[in-house]
Each structure stands twice: as structure tokens, then as C-alpha cells.
Chains A and B, each alone.
Chain A
Amino acid sequence: GQNIDQPTEMTATEGAIVQINCTYQTSGFNGLFWYQQHAGEAPTFLSYNVLDGLEEKGRFSSFLSRSKGYSYLLLKELQMKDSASYLCAVRDVLMNSGGYQKVTFGTGTKLQVIP
């Protein structure tokens, strides 16, 4: 099984930088996703890491350390529209499944951006 932990809530100021952490435990790790979910909407893909290191995409960056079971999502130059939940999701290979993959989501971190 998988165990994914991320903070429940965070608050940050417009224009600032915020880091959302995610720790996980899994047996057949094959990638970690970050999704953004605005209230009442479906999750949308932000980033993907499968190798150690930092992936940068505009104002968003995601970091992975497989040996530590740790990832973070970094949001720079925060805007009010960044207020949303941020979901960490871990993919692993299902045992005895012929290689099929399962994605398990964390509970999400609700980020509030204040003026």
C-alpha cells in the first residue's frame, strides 16, 4: 500500500513564494504528480517527477528525492488565483498485475493566498 502525507492547510501572501511538502511510502514507485484543484472543480495536472531533482515550469517547480520519499511543490510570485488545493499523487506498479500502474492521491493541501 501507500502512505502519503501533506499539510492540510497553508496561507501565503500575494507575490511571495510558498513550498508545499509531500512525503510518501510505497513499494513500487514509478513517479509523483502534483495536481491543482480549485474549489468545485476537477484536478488539473501541474507537474511530474520520476527522477531525483527539480523540474521547473514557469512559476511552478517540483522537486523529488526518491531515497527520502519526499517531494515539494514550489510556487513563486503567488497570485490570488493560486488559491486552491494542491494534491500530491504517487504512482506505483500494481503487484501481480502484469505491469499496470496505480495512482494514489494524498488528502491535498489547501492554499490560501492573501493580499
Chain B
Amino acid sequence: EAGVAQSPRYKIIEKRQSVAFWCNPISGHATLYWYQQILGQGPKLLIQFQNNGVVDDSQLPKDRFSAERLKGVDSTLKIQPAKLEDSAVYLCASSPQRNLAKSTDTQYFGPGTRLTVL
């Protein structure tokens, strides 16, 4: 089974520039997550999709960040314009389904995109 795919793996930009990240979740996984992980910290949820609908984007800085999952499969996360504090690893994860009766529902993470803003 193929894992979660992300691209690019690394990106270096200057502040005020724009950048986009792409994620392809595991086939059949309904839930997709974007996390921001700053060095030395745990992953922070930016946005969670259930199929192509947004479940939670409460921690997404909406003035500069946007994300979409138009067909309920792959997703893009965009930052426009970037700031120095956006330097982090952006992790995409997916899980099979929202089912409270099925407890485990583990998240599977992609390799991440390491963003450096200069």
C-alpha cells in the first residue's frame, strides 16, 4: 500500500513570496490533515478535511494560509505571503474514516515539506 505522498520535500523562499505544497493521501482515506511542525515542537493542526469539506480550520492563519481538497482526494496548502515565522516542516496525514465506534483510526503521515523562509 502506497503511503502519503508530499511534494516538494524542501523549499527555500524569501519572505513575502508565495509557496504551495501538495499532498496525496493513502487511497480511500476520507480524512486529510495539514500540520505545521516548528523545530523542537509537536505538530500543530492547521486544517482537517473530511472528504472535500473542512472540519476544523480554527488554527489556520487565514490571512495568509489557504488549503483546498476539491475532489476529496489530494490537497494543496498555500502560503501567501510567507513570513519568517512560517519556517517549519509541513506534514500531511490521512486516516481512513470518521467512525467513533472504530476507535483506532490512526493517522498516517507523509514525509513532510521542510520550508525555510529567508
**Complex CA distance for A105 and B112, rounded to whole angstroms:** 16
Q: Which of B12-20, B64-72, B76-84, B101-109 contacts A (4 or more CB under 8 A)?
A: B101-109
**Bound complex: CA A87 to CA B37 (Å):** 12
Would B106 and A33 count as touching, CB distance under 8 A?
yes
Interface residues on A, range: 20 to 34
When A and B form their complex, what is the total count of cross-chain residue pairs whose Cβ atoms lie within 8 Å?
58
1/0 per residue A85-115: CB within 8 Å of B? 0010100011001011111111110000000
Q: Is the interface of A mostly helix, strand, loop or mixed?
A: strand
- Looking at chain B's contact residues, the main secondary structure is loop
Q: Are B105 and A101 in contact (CB under 8 A)?
A: yes
The reply to whether the CB of A25 lies closer than 8 angstroms to some CB of chain B is no
With a cutoff of 8 Å between Cβ atoms, the chain A residues found around residue B111 in the complex are: 41-42
Whether A94 contacts B55 by the Cβ 8 Å rule is yes
Q: How far is the CB of B17 from chain A (nearest CB, A)?
A: 24
The answer to whether B109 and A44 touch across the interface, beta carbons within 8 angstroms, is: yes
Find chain B residues with CB under 8 A from A50 CB. Answer: 103
B43 interfacial contact with A, CB 8 Å: yes
Q: Are A100 and B98 in contact (CB under 8 A)?
A: yes
B25 on interface, CB distance cutoff 8 Å: no
Q: Beyond A31-B103, A42-B91, A103-B33: 18 further Cβ-contacts under 8 Å?
A: A30-B100, A30-B103, A42-B111, A42-B112, A45-B106, A48-B103, A48-B104, A48-B106, A94-B56, A99-B100, A100-B48, A100-B56, A101-B100, A102-B48, A104-B45, A105-B43, A105-B44, A107-B42
Where the two chains meet, the residues of B that have a C-beta atom closer than 8 Å to any C-beta of A are: 33, 35, 40-45, 48, 50, 55-56, 91, 98, 100, 103-112
